């Protein structure tokens, strides 16, 4: 159920105060501190019970509330309901406050609120206080009008309130200003807006709860929570980039399915991830890349009738706030405080298992959509002209480089500092190990949308002291054609999703002609893209599959996307998938096609894990998850996206075993974890006809100074290719480790199979790995 202060009510209260007393400037404390833990993996924080100042204050307010009236507000179906207010004037002692830090902070004289708005002409702080008396006052609202002559420093509005409760207060802002759309303003004082610096956000309590689809979102804080216990022996994994094996996953989808076997209260939660860490360890990965975990509204598509109003946003690429963890990933509707605590528990447990945590972050746009059908919750109503890129030549309409209706104005100084503060918060408060930035090319655009050669934000992230230990990974393109793969401004720090690796590997393995040279370049670490200045092979994040696009199973089962269920007429999702259905579109019982598809999936996985660079795989590919040809499944909170634990169990001795063994083989062989690009002494290409357009076979040997050479061959022809094997190093012989044409467990034998002779017959659409051993 939603937080009681967010429910509809019959009563609302308005207080209009103008601050006039000077507040002493005091050192502020962060609005969310570390928490602790107990039963079910959770130890709920103990609230401060000493003293009754906050309660006395609230009781005093209640006794003075003589003019309260009760007129139930009608629910607004198409627009978010604004809290109703009545006229009461309690005595609430307050001070002008201080401009920094932004957001909510605790100072000696009370609770300080500070918000930036350059173009606002009027700001009201709106408060929903907890009911601590005998009467029901769940939704009573106070409004405190900030005097621009007293409560404003530069472009920052601020106020300090004495004796405000230290927790369980919800807050937002009403902001007014110029109404000229042609000037870029979108002020609407009827809306209560979320503080961009709110560290916690309260909304509906349960994911996908359609009974509360119009629940509003408000900031909250808790200064009563005790420090989180990271443990005496806790330490960060600090895994070298060259050693990373990334696993892209969705927190909710990982355990929400009934097949997970978890208690329904923790399915789809941060705690659910903890319960399933043993699977990650068995698979062998050492870093998870979590799809967005910042607060988002999963029911945003259902706010008005439209072709997509049956969808639930399960991916989360629609950020409401950049500081608050997704509250509905807390267990059993626990809300934002428990979400914060349980997120820390998840990070702590993953780190204890030697697994790093990398967040997929979305700073290129927000949930607030476009000018045609806006969903104003924060930035748009606070200062649209600052927070978003505008087309000054088209009535100051929102520019759309993100494909989602708006584009965050990332290189504006104020917005840039907001992003940096957000990143630092996740590193300091939650101990995350790095970030993958969605559509990072947007972050390389100036305030007018034009590309920048040296984007200030990109440089600041690379040079920031707090972020210096973090992995920073770019998705180096956007939805307006700014494709920067291999050209991303990097300061020798940024890694990149290597989109060219994905495309070239897919095209070669499926059997396209003329791809052998490109395939070799990608396997060798894409030196054509990354061998510049001090960049390393691991700055290229290699992937065949990611969350957007086909799963690995679907890549070998569908020639075409099948996205009708998305409500966009099949116009969404990429058309350039470089997929091959192996002879039949979709699911089939034909054993020959099933066998070919299995080989192809193993071929893709093997080449990914032996390539120079940082490999990344997608959750579910380890058992062959299918989305039935949907290559853009962002809106389906169903088995299309949910991890199917029963299918994993069925594949444990076959498909999963191969995937796991290959990952572990990579991690134990330094030939695949190089810090420098391959030289002629490091690799021998067994190829003397690179210009043969029809050749779909490639073999090469990686040389080890200790004699443990590795021979690899990939055959994308539809016929056998018999090859003469090179002579192994002195006193060694070739052992067959992998042959994707063989059935499990012979398809991968970690210790190798000896006596394979001087030639090898490589089957159609298969690959082999041989190791030189004593």
Decide: helix, strand or coil at residue 390: strand
Q: Are the CB atoms for 722 and 759 separated by under 8 Å?
A: yes
Q: Are the CB atoms for 224 and 47 separated by under 8 Å?
A: yes
Count of Cβ atoms closer than 10 Å to residue 577 Cβ: 19
The full 3-state SS of 435-474, as one line of letters, equals: EEECCHHHHHECCCCCECCCCHHHHHHHHCCHHHHCEEEE
- Which residue in the list 163, 300, 433, 475 is annotated as catalytic? 475
- Which residue in the list 368, 438, 637, 661 is annotated as catalytic? 438
Among 40, 33, 35, 45, which residue's Cα sits nearest to residue 341? 35
What gap in Å lies between CA 10 and CA 123, rounded to an integer? 25
Count of Cβ atoms closer than 10 Å to residue 591 Cβ: 8
Cβ-defined contacts of 577-583 (< 8 Å, 24+): 577/506, 577/549, 577/550, 577/631, 578/503, 578/506, 578/507, 578/510, 578/512, 579/506, 579/510, 579/550, 579/554, 579/555, 580/510, 580/511, 580/555, 580/556, 581/556, 581/557, 582/556, 582/557
Return the DSSP state at 507. Answer: H
DSSP H or E segment with residue 354: none
Backbone angles phi, psi at 572, to 5 degrees: -90, 165
Q: What is the largest CA-CA distance in the chain?
A: 96
Q: Are the CB atoms for 395 and 360 separated by under 8 Å?
A: no
How many residues appear in the chain? 774
Return the DSSP state at 294. Answer: B
Q: Are the CB atoms for 168 and 119 separated by under 8 Å?
A: no
Q: Are the CB atoms for 98 and 107 separated by under 8 Å?
A: yes
What gap in Å lies between CA 772 and CA 25, rounded to an integer? 70
Q: Which residue has the tokens 């991303």?
A: 488
Return the DSSP state at 743. Answer: P
Q: Which residue has the tokens 């409401």?
A: 320
Q: Are the CB atoms for 564 and 571 separated by under 8 Å?
A: no
Pure H helices in 369-408: 379-387
Instruction: State both tokens at 424.
Output: 């630092």
Among 1, 247, 13, 221, which residue's Cα sits nearest to residue 106? 221
> 111: Cβ–Cβ under 8 A, 6 or more apart, which residues?
104, 105, 160, 161, 164, 166, 169, 221, 223
Cβ-defined contacts of 747-750 (< 8 Å, 24+): 747/602, 747/658, 748/657, 748/658, 748/661, 748/662, 748/665, 750/661, 750/664, 750/665
Burial of 548 (0-12, 13-18, 19+ CB in 10 A): middle
Percentages helix, strand, coil for the chain (3-state, rounded to 5) are 25, 20, 55
What gap in Å lies between CA 605 and CA 244, rounded to an integer? 16
> Would you call 475 a catalytic residue per the annotation?
yes
What gap in Å lies between CA 465 and CA 194, rounded to an integer? 29
What gap in Å lies between CA 422 and CA 195, rounded to an integer? 13
- The answer, yes or no, to whether the previous bond of 745 is cis (omega within 30 of 0) is yes
Return the DSSP state at 80. Answer: P
Backbone angles phi, psi at 485, to 5 degrees: -60, 120
What gap in Å lies between CA 273 and CA 314, rounded to an integer? 16
Helix axes 379-387, 413-430, angle to 10 degrees: 120
The full 3-state SS of 187-233, as one line of letters, equals: CCCCCCECCCCCCEEECCCCCCCHHHCCCCCEEEEECCCCCCCCCCC
Q: What are the catalytic residues?
A: 438, 475
């Amino acid at each position: 159920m939603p937080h009681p202060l967010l429910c509809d009510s019959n009563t609302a209260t308005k207080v209009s105060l103008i601050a006039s007393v000077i507040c002493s400037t005091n050192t502020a404390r962060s609005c969310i501190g570390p928490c602790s833990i107990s039963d079910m993996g959770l130890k709920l924080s103990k609230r401060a019970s000493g003293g009754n100042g906050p309660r006395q204050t609230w009781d005093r307010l209640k006794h003075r509330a003589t003019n309260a009236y009760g007129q139930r507000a009608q629910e607004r179906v198409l627009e978010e309901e604004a809290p109703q207010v009545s006229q009461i004037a309690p005595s609430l002692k307050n001070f002008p406050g201080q401009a920094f830090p932004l957001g909510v902070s605790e100072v000696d004289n009370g609770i300080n609120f500070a918000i930036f708005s350059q173009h606002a002409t009027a700001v009201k702080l709106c408060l929903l206080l907890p009911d601590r008396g005998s009467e029901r006052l769940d939704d009573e609202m106070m409004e405190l009008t900030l005097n621009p002559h007293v409560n404003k420093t530069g472009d920052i509005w601020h106020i300090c309130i004495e004796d405000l409760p230290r927790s369980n207060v919800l807050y937002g802002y009403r902001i007014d200003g110029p109404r000229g759309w042609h000037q870029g303003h979108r002020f609407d004082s009827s809306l209560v807006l979320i503080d961009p610096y709110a560290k916690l956000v309260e909304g509906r309590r349960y994911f996908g709860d359609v009974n509360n689809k119009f629940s509003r979102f408000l900031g909250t804080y808790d200064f009563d929570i005790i420090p989180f216990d990271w443990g005496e022996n806790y330490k960060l994994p600090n895994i070298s980039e060259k050693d990373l094996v990334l696993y892209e996953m969705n927190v909710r989808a990982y355990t929400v399915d009934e097949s997970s076997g978890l208690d329904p209260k923790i399915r789809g939660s941060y705690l659910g991830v903890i319960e399933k860490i043993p699977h990650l360890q068995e698979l062998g990965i050492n870093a998870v890349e979590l799809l967005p975990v910042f607060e988002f509204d999963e029911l945003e598509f259902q706010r008005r009738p439209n072709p997509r109003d049956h969808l639930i946003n399960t991916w989360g690429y629609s950020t409401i706030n950049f500081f608050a963890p997704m509250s509905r990933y807390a267990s059993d509707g626990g809300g934002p405080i428990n979400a914060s605590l349980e997120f820390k528990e998840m990070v702590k447990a993953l780190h204890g298992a030697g697994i790093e945590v990398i967040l997929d972050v979305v700073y290129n746009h927000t949930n607030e959509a476009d000018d045609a059908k806006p969903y104003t919750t924060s930035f748009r109503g606070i200062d649209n002209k600052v927070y978003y890129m505008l087309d000054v030549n088209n009535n100051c309409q929102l520019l759309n480089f993100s494909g989602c209706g708006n584009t965050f104005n990332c290189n504006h100084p104020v917005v840039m500092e907001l992003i940096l503060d957000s990143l630092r918060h996740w590193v300091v408060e939650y101990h995350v190990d790095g970030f993958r930035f969605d559509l990072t090319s947007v972050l390389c655009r100036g305030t007018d949308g034009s590309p920048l050669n040296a984007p200030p934000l990109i440089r600041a992230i690379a040079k920031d002291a707090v972020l210096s230990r973090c992995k920073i990974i770019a998705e180096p393109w956007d939805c307006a054609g700014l494709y920067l793969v291999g050209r991303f401004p990097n300061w020798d720090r940024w890694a990149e999703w290597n989109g060219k690796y994905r495309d070239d590997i897919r095209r070669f393995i499926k059997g396209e002609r003329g791809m052998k040279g490109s395939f070799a370049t990608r396997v060798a670490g894409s030196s054509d893209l990354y061998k510049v200045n001090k960049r390393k092979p691991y700055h290229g994040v290699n992937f065949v599959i990611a969350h957007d696009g086909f799963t690995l199973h679907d890549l070998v089962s569908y020639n075409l996307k099948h996205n009708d269920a998305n409500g966009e007429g099949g116009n969404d999702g990429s058309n350039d998938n470089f997929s091959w259905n192996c002879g039949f579109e979709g699911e089939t019982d034909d054993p020959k096609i099933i066998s070919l598809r299995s080989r192809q999936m193993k071929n893709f996985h093997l080449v990914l894990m032996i390539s120079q660079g940082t490999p990344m795989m997608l959750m579910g590919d380890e058992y062959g998850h299918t989305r039935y040809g949907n290559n853009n499944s962002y809106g389906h909170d169903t088995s299309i996206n949910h991890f199917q634990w029963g299918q994993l169990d069925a594949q444990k001795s076959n498909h999963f075993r191969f995937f796991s063994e290959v990952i572990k083989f990579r991690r134990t062989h330094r030939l695949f974890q190089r810090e420098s690009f391959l030289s002629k002494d490091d690799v021998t290409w067994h190829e003397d006809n690179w210009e043969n357009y029809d050749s779909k076979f490639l073999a090469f040997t990686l040389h080890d100074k200790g004699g443990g050479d590795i021979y690899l061959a990939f055959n994308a022809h539809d016929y056998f290719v018999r090859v003469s094997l090179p002579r192994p190093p002195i006193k060694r012989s070739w052992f067959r480790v992998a042959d994707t044409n063989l059935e499990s467990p012979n398809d991968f034998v970690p210790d190798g199979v000896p006596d394979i002779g001087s030639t090898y017959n490589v089957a159609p659409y298969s690959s082999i790995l041989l190791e030189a051993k004593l």
